[in-house]
Structure 1
């Protein structure tokens, strides 16, 4: 999962994890039962990749349950809000496939990759994108995306054409297409999965991605 041994920062393995899908689900602080139910909703909709932030023991247990269910369906489940080596160890023990961080900490990236999990670090400035891509990373989390705006993606794609952005924070069925059109590779949605009115719109986005 770590890519070429000559570059521990290489996270191009996300190409395979996302596999062309344009949506990811983030399930924050929902507990094991609700997280599993919404993960199933996401998987049935065609959203194959799910992230559970781990900030409490209950979050880690929810990750363990969802990761186990994901393995039976061949789905990738990641741990979010990973900001320390301790979090990396918790993610590994819970069965996560990858880790996601709110910011850029190359030590956390390295620890994740050494543990056999790909790492998706957060960026919000050109300097952070440059540092990440210089280290060999191609997949980055644009956070907080609703604050950065779609124009930020357009601006970053100019000097950093190799970067692939996952937009996180304030994303929903109403604005996801705007961010995808601006250059996002993947949009991460959370509470939208609990809104029956948004599910058809999310499904339509997945269909549009498949046709592109």
Structure 2
């Protein structure tokens, strides 16, 4: 099991491929890999999304990349993610049952947080890597503010991140950022490659 420290030590950028058909998901995953973004999350909110996740996992065979499942809000989704070959799970919030199930299946769990109380609760249960969501509404200043009382927290900023604002979150103390629609914007790809490198 690769932990988030290992995953994000290679690149501070993750790709999120939400709501696409399997073929388009694969196309965007390859775009991400070509840019040097080795970590890809496929949210699993529907049966088609689970198919897309499984397709990306198959395409990743033989590549030194990491594929995870996002929007994992139930234990059923954890099990579906594991069956599809995901290596980690991500959620918009924090659920102790989802956390336990994911860890029991050897998949690191990245819970979403947006308040000091949520950060403290997740840390108390052993989760140092946290998804700051929605990051664009929280702002880079939130990351800096949370890093004061919670220096052990490792934030992955998700939601509204693109090549124009990603560096501001990293400069504020985030350990990683996640991009989605930016991968469909050709003019942003060179900047994303620079961030990933």
The answer to whether the superposition gives a TM-score over 0.5 is: yes
Q: Provide TM-score, normalisation by structure 2.
A: 0.97
1:177 is the counterpart of 2:167: yes
**CA positional deviation for 1:79:** 0.4
1:90 is the counterpart of 2:99: no
Counterpart mapping for 1:80-119 below 5 A: 80-119=70-109
Q: Which runs of 5+ in 1 are unaligned?
A: 3-12, 208-212
What residue number does 2:144 align with?
154
What residue number does 2:51 align with?
61
What residue number does 2:119 align with?
129
**Higher alpha-carbon deviation: 15-24 or 188-197:** 15-24
Count the aligned residue pairs: 197
Secondary structure in 2 aligned to 1:131?
A: helix
Distance, in Å, in 2 between the alignment partners of 1:206 and 1:114 is 31
Distance, in Å, in 2 between the alignment partners of 1:206 and 1:16 is 15
| CA RMSD, Structure 1 to Structure 2 (Å) | 1.1
Distance, in Å, in 2 between the alignment partners of 1:151 and 1:59 is 33
1:187 is the counterpart of 2:177: yes
What residue number does 2:35 align with?
45
1:167 is the counterpart of 2:157: yes
Q: Deviations over 1:44-90 (max 9, x none)?
A: 11000000000111000000010122232121100000000110111
Distance, in Å, in 2 between the alignment partners of 1:171 and 1:137 is 23
Q: 1:198 aligns with which of 175, 183, 188?
A: 188
Q: Provide TM-score, normalisation by structure 1.
A: 0.90
Runs of 4+ in 1 over 6 A off after TM superposition: none
**CA positional deviation for 1:168:** 0.5
Q: Which runs of 5+ in 2 are unaligned?
A: none
Distance, in Å, in 2 between the alignment partners of 1:19 and 1:33 is 29
